[in-house]
Structure 1
Amino acid sequence: MQLTWSQIPQLPKAEGRIQAIDLARGLAIGLMIMSHAVSGLVGIRNVPDWGMVPIHFLTKFSSSLFILVFGIALAVAFLSHTQSDDWPKRRLKLCLRGVEVWFWYKALLVIEMLPFYPPGDIVDALLYGRFAIWTEILGFYAIALLWVPLMLPLWARAPLWSRLATIGVFIALTVWLQSLTFGGNDILKALLVDHENHYAWGQISRAPLILVGLLIGESLLRCYFEPAARRRLVLTLLGLGALMVGGFYALALASGDVHAAMLAVANNVGKHPPGLEFMLFSLGGALVLLALALAGGARAAKVLMPLTVIGTDALKTFIFHIVMIFLVLRFLLQGEGLYSYPQALGIGGLLIIGAAAWIWVTRWMAAHR
């Protein structure tokens, strides 16, 4: 199908569940779990050099891939229904999901902060007076699930040029708002466009990733079940990802110290607020992983079953790994500083398998009630 600038989304119904999306989401969550296990149990300052680069360096694909797949899943599951009579019901379902995610965000925030902070600081975070760290991505999704459904009908009717322009507008708006002080309200700035002193994810600064995900999801619906078109999509994503990662290394070479540039990314320099070098590497790597997941399809999803399973229920996986790391290992078992870096990596791997097992068991129990 030839693309034109005036083309509106072409959205055939998916022929069954696209397992490659679950695998891509599972890859993002798996990398996140490995990163959280290390930072939560060992601490970034205690990670050996060989752990920071390349291992912790590569986990930076996670956040961009997670948000991309969020947009892809919305396109695949909901975008084609925005003009149907049952759209208000589906929109309400998404908003209620946002409320559910928000509840778990606040509950897990308490669990995360419990080993580190006095009750007053925890209450302050619950009331948006400050932010935690590891659970803040859940807070981002909770808010996004409230506003993204409102713009999906407009997106579904918009021509291609205006959808691309909208992404550009969000990027320009992010750059402009980053230069403002928001009257000293750092919390509001963090919620909208990130803030260097807080680990919150800005709705405006991360919106372009969601919208790019919507574009990829639209293409995926048209291409996934046609082998030739699917190969073209995979190669396009792979090429774009490689080009972005190459751009990161070109900037690193220009700076004169490639290892220092890699170490800076591993230490989250340019993550909050998003910087050029960090986003080139993170988004580029995310596109490569997404392309590989789509290329592997159902066969790769079967081979990497634990990752695919956790990708089918991201919220339950998130709850499981935060509870295990911060409530069980850190708070109840007093495990801070007791684990070496290799042991933390091993724990991260076990948490992935454990989360997959937990999801399977709860589904089995629900099916046999």
Structure 2
Amino acid sequence: MLPVDLPGTVREALLAPLVDHHCHGVRRDDLSRAEFELLIGGEDGSPSPPGTTHFDTPFGAAVRRWCAPLLDLEPHAPPAVYLARRAELGAAEVNRRLLAGAGVVAFLVDAAAGDIELLSAAEMGRHGGAAADELVRIEEIERDVAELSEAAIDYLDSLGEELSARAARAVGLKTVVGSLFGLDFDPSRPATGSVLAAANRRLADPKEPLTDPVLLRHLLWSAIDVARERGLPVQFHTGLGGSALDPHRADPARLGAFVRRLQPLGVPVILLHCYPYHRQAAFLASVHPHVYVDVGLALPHTAAGSARVMDELLELAPFHKQLFSSGCHGVAESAYLGALYYRRALGTVLRGRLGAGEWSSTDAVRIAHMIGSGNARRIYRL
């Protein structure tokens, strides 16, 4: 799994249990080939073109190479053989093997509903032999409040109350505002009158996804208030998988104006899955004391190229500002491969730094522990 010429202490640090600071639940039911391929094809869940397969991607090839042995198959098992063995073992056993194999000591789970077949945070922990805590997605709370509110003033009151109540049981808040209208939004708090008017429009059709920019800004600032009060970080989904709009609008640098407004408040801002904008995110993390970064999804989805991504992140981002996440979603293979490619990528980069005399073995050990678990324990107060 790791470069063979790493010092023993560095290898031990890389193989130490990880804190997966952002993941989702995985399916609890057995999957058809079509269902499995949709889940390994990326967060947009699109099928591959006719006559092709999502196994012919870096992630799909990694499933066959690295996950097959955990299911008692030879590496590079054909897709049909892999899926037949997966079905033979059953979802529960597959989930147990792969989640436990990731070597994670704590899962922080985005508990947003939407698929009743997903494992809960507690179940993710039990299957993986780890602790588990919840991350609260603020857009889900807004939807629940909108569906139950009868008047705009009730909506506004209930939104703040529900955000506070849910945050009391969570270790962090999460927003997908970038997926809804990009990251280059007006950073100011909206005026009360405009929020009330927007709330009235929202309640006319509360089951639709929230797209009103005034209410999105109000929701975001309400979440920031709760996070400040409770000392919680706020995760922003950026970059890979972070925007259904023009991909350029997922560039985390577009959050700069909003980030600057948050600095006096002391609310930690965590930029998730920043590839291919990880260098811009690294710059934000280097100049703002409250900004943190990970490249989560990019590592298993670039697979053999993951060391280049990690190397570029380490060019500028402070080591105490970087975090590990798998971005796991849908299938347990994503949790296992997220951890595996994180360790392989960081191991390759550490070997290069050590060989160039840039870092000592003691430095490499400390950095591996910080990124793998220590930073997350500090930020999320685990």
Do Structure 1 and Structure 2 share a fold, with TM-score over 0.5?
no
TM-score by length of 2: 0.26
Q: Which structure exhibits the higher relative contact order, with contacts defined as CA atoms closer than 8 Å and separated by 6 or more residues? A: 1
Higher strand proportion, which one?
A: 2
More helix by share: 1
When the two structures are superposed, what TM-score results if normalisation uses the length of structure 1? 0.26
